[in-house]
Chain A
Amino acid sequence: MPDQYSWPPPEERTYIGRRMGRVDGLAKSTGHAKYTYDYNPKGLLYGAFVRSPYAHARITSIDINAAEKMPGVKAIEIVQKQGSEVHWAGDEIVAIAAVDESALRDAVRAVKVEYEQLPHLVIDSKEPPRNLPPDTSPLSGDDLEDMFDNQVPANQMIKEIKERGISFKPEEAPLDEMPANIVAALKSAPQKPPQQKSASWYKPAAAETQGDPDAAFKAADTVISEGVYGIPVIAHCCLESHGSVSEWTDKDHLLVHASTQFISGIPGQMGDELKIPASNIRAVQENIGGGFGSKFGPDRWGIFSAKLSKKADGAPVKMMLARDEELEVAGCRPSAYARVRVAAKKDGTLTGWDSFGWGTGGPGGGGSPPIPYLIRDRLPNYRTQWTAVVNNIGPARAWRAPNHPQACLITMAALDDLAAKLGMNPLEFFNKNVDLTGPRANIFRDEFAVADDLMGWSKRWHQRGDKTAGSIKQGLGLSMHTWGGRGHQSECDLTIQPDGSVTIKMGTQDLGTGTRTAIMAVAADTLGLSPQQITLLYGDTRYPMSGGSGGSTTIGGVSSTTRRAAVDARDALFAKVAPALGSTPDQLEAVKGQVRAKGGSSKALSWKEACAKIGAVPINAHGKNLGGRDPLMNSGVGGVQMADVSVDIETGIVKINKMVAVQDCGLVVVPETAESQCYGALIMGISYALYEEKIMDPTTGLMLNPNMEFYRLAGIGDIGELVVHMMVNKYDSRGVIGLGEPPVISPGAAISNAVANAIGVRVPTLPLTPARVLAAMEESQKGAA
């Protein structure tokens, strides 16, 4: 049976695709919106960790005697026992709860931990040796966990599972949390005895090859460009740090306020660790102050706030990370570097790619970015090699569009250098090769035309190296990107009461992307009401489950689910009301606060009058989307961006003049929050292109800038003029597609390319700091001399 749900046609939309204002806007701007950090229940205790001062060490002794006796200390838990190996500075060793933060800090200082220091590595920008043998040892459970943590693509995981075999029984792994194809691969994998892992910092993966790259580079009439490109480890730096407040409401039941991107998933992840049924855990969150991919699990602060609370007779324990902890341990984006050779015919047709890449995601090594980006499936000849650097910089977490900004920078910068070598305008060069991007080539082509117009690219572009006099050089750069963004599984309950009031319950969360506003827009549109007439209850595991807000999956998930529930509830109401209107349910419509016969409003009841016909039992519709098969949502977007920069070649300072983002995401549900995603992504992109880097001290293994003075974020004066254009109308029929990740992918590449266009040389590694700009210019002069 074909699915009977669809989006209303444009002429029938009253809220979807129209400006309505963020429904939670005033609560936030007046300071009344409450976050996990703001939750101050009665009898609150404060929790914190004793952390490792070393990047790599073994714990030789832990002495908590003095701390236990201190006034105000209510509970202490050992996190990692004597003998444990610590893999990054700041790792959690002991957890303490006390009556106030002053007592807490004193107690943390009073814990004595002794360590045996082990050799560490925190630098990853150095090119690893080339001829290391690939790791062929069977995968351990830890290896598998690392692969998931580092978001290794499924096909690569399956390949490794098949080739290397596994040293554990498949049923020991949490199979129900894994995709079916991985589970199948594990079940049929060769079983091998565990092997001692080599102590190397480097984990090379086997080369991947398509076509005949060597022949492509040797072919006549071929222009070859070579370069090294890189993007360092950066932090998430959520303004609301990671953390939780846990309290036992009785001896078996836990209430946890968590700063999380996945409220529905918190009980399942905490139950095991706390040895209570997940159904005994209630997780709650009203607002979250940023996540960007780093807040999916309960983390140690979630688990240990609960353990400390248990020890303190159930008193609520708040564990929110301090800023230095947030930057040191609560998430970093894996780095990526690559030495690239890329080849094209003299007319600009791309023919070959050859790259040797490396990067780190900390102790797990890090997944390999999809290089060459966008063109991998269709480029006739390529060879890519990847070596994961296993080091002590800290644990990686998903960072908005995992692996894509890295792959994009490396690929788009290399292609831009090749275009420069060919003397081609990059816009012409990218358009010429755009079919290599596959199914979205037409979207990119359309978007390049719009961006050209908005930036004035064709009129203003010049060959590499601004030849005008003076020290300020201006340049243009561009980039393109893609993302999936299919909605996650989601459910909700929509209730219409006989008095006309409407309630939606959904266990989702709003990261500031506008999720609440989108749910309201869909429900109001479907029921013919205004958002003010609808109550939305969310952010609580007492409501129907909804997926985690990651990978741009939320808007598809919540909008399709809301639409389904609202259509069903509306149709149930029509059935009750039809006799009174002397009509049949299929001839009714709900618009402008009325239920009326289609085509004319002579037979109409106000919403309240209509709902009075419901009787004593309210209407409840349970919405549940169809996941990947749901026709209300889709996957796969295209976006292009252009940057206009000025570079002072005397100081090396890069200034953004203007950025243009042209983005498609299918049907736009709420225009202003969709645009805000793009503006925000451009600004976040400017931040990582120019300022952000987790700077490590190779000697001590410590982060040197764990604060917001030296871990710099872009300020309001750093952004230039920003222009966003959403490709509405043309691609609406595809349904709703996620938008959070895609626009943050391209800014680094577009800005790097613009700087190269301005100063005439490539600054190989982000962020484009004055020191790096000046060094690149000096290097090129050495080469020329």
Chain B
Amino acid sequence: MSKKDDKASSFSRREFLKISGVAASVPLIVGPTVVKIEGQEVAVHGPGAVPVKLNVNGRTFSADLEPRVTLLDALRENFDITGPKRVCDRGECGACTVLIDDRLVYSCTTLAIEAQGKQIVTAEGLGSGQPHPVQTAFVNNDAQQCGFCTPGLTVATKAFLEKHPHATDEEIAHGIGGNLCRCGTYRGIHGVVAQMTGREPKGNAGTTMVAERAAKSVKGDA
């Protein structure tokens, strides 16, 4: 992608409000239209479908998409990359979490055209050819039930651990708090973080588990 297109992609609402004195009748054609904003020429996409090229998990995908199509919908509907889930569809639950240039984003509130020219990574591409250790840790700690929130959570947890190699409970609460789970798998995720950071298992990361407890023959249990 050219730099010019990148600039168009970072087109913010504040800038949009400053558009003045430009004939804003945008014809229904493919490809960007150039408009003048405060003396500068800026490419505007749409409103019809425009060619979009995305790099996802190291592969290139192309499609003609309306500029209003979100990255999440492009991934799921056009490229059949369905690890990111559509749940709240407005940036509240984190089920659509992906990495863009190593930054965590909610793909439901990112436009597909904005993600062009960047490296997008979903749960499917988190490991290189095999499951990422975080994804294996999700299994070892049974940090999933129905699994619908899990792909987003594995991406979020991996990015969180890179930032917080010695994560505390408070850091977990904030750092992974943007991903919601309905089945209630958070205790297992504490276990994942403990395992990955080599933390002493305690509290929620501890193993008060069946076999161990049974062996201890706790009062009231045979």
Contact = CB atoms under 8 A, between A and B. Distances in A.
Interface of A: 17-19, 21-22, 24-26, 28-35, 37-38, 40, 100-102, 237-241, 287-290, 292, 322-323, 445-450, 453-454, 511-514, 668, 671-676, 679-684, 687, 707-709, 713-717, 719, 721-730
B173 A716 contact: yes
Contact of A288 (B85, B146, B219): B146
11 contacts: A21-B139, A29-B151, A31-B150, A38-B76, A239-B180, A292-B182, A683-B184, A687-B184, A709-B92, A717-B172, A728-B213
Contacts of A30: 83, 123-124, 126-127, 131-132, 135, 151, 154
B131 A29 contact: yes
Nearest to A660: B208
B144 A29 contact: yes
A726 B139 CA distance: 21
A331 to B, nearest CB: 12
A447 B220 CA distance: 7
Interface in B143-183: 143-151, 154, 170, 172-174, 176-177, 179-183
A211 to B, nearest CB: 33
Interface in B84-125: 84-90, 92-93, 95, 122-124
Contacts of A687: 184
Given A31-B123, A729-B221, A289 B147 contact: yes
Given A29-B139, A30-B135, A239 B87 contact: yes
A33 B82 CA distance: 9
A675 B131 CA distance: 25
A709 B184 CA distance: 18
Given A22-B139, A26-B135, A716-B177, A668 B210 contact: yes
Contacts of B187: 679, 683, 719, 722
A180 B142 CA distance: 41
Contacts of A671: 209-211
Nearest to A673: B142
B39 to A, nearest CB: 34
Contact of A31 (B124, B170, B189): B124
Contacts, number: 232
Contacts of B80: 40
Contact of B186 (A37, A287, A683): A683
Nearest to B123: A31
Contacts of A290: 146, 148, 182-183
A9 to B, nearest CB: 15
B66 interface: yes
A46 to B, nearest CB: 9
B92 A716 contact: no
A730 B149 contact: no
Contact of B73 (A24, A101, A446, A679): A101
A676 B146 contact: no
Contact of B218 (A33, A453, A511, A713): A453
Given A25-B142, A716-B177, 15 more contacts: A28-B138, A30-B123, A31-B83, A35-B148, A238-B182, A239-B146, A239-B182, A289-B85, A446-B220, A511-B146, A707-B92, A717-B177, A729-B214, A729-B221, A730-B221
Given A40-B76, A713-B182, A240 B148 contact: yes
Given A101-B73, A719-B204, A725-B208, A450 B147 contact: no
Contacts of B83: 30-32
Query: Which 9 A-B pairs have CB atoms at the shortest separation, nearest pair first?
Result: A31-B83, A717-B173, A683-B184, A289-B148, A31-B123, A512-B146, A28-B147, A680-B184, A25-B139
Contact of A446 (B132, B185, B221): B221
B77 interface: yes
A32 B132 CA distance: 13
SS of B interface (majority): loop
B140 interface: yes
Contact of B138 (A25, A35, A446): A25
B222 interface: yes
Contacts of B89: 322-323
A24 B146 CA distance: 10
Contacts of A707: 88, 90, 92
B219 to A, nearest CB: 5
A25 B144 contact: yes
B189 A675 contact: no
A269 to B, nearest CB: 22
Contact of B87 (A28, A681, A708): A708
B61 to A, nearest CB: 14
A680 B147 CA distance: 13
A715 B177 contact: yes
Contacts of B144: 22, 25, 28-29, 512
A707 B126 CA distance: 29
Contact of A715 (B85, B150, B180, B220): B180
A708 B149 CA distance: 14
Contact of B145 (A34, A35, A37, A512): A512
B180 A450 contact: no
Contacts of B222: 729-730
Contacts of A681: 184
A616 B181 CA distance: 49
A612 to B, nearest CB: 34
Given A668-B210, A722-B187, A728-B214, A38 B180 contact: no
A28 B209 contact: no
Contacts of A719: 186-187, 204
A37 B86 contact: yes
Nearest to A662: B220
B146 A722 contact: no
Contacts of B93: 239, 708
Given A453-B218, A722-B204, A28 B150 contact: yes
Contacts of B136: 26, 29
A462 to B, nearest CB: 23
Contacts of A19: 209, 211
Contact of B182 (A31, A38, A237): A237
Contacts of A448: 220
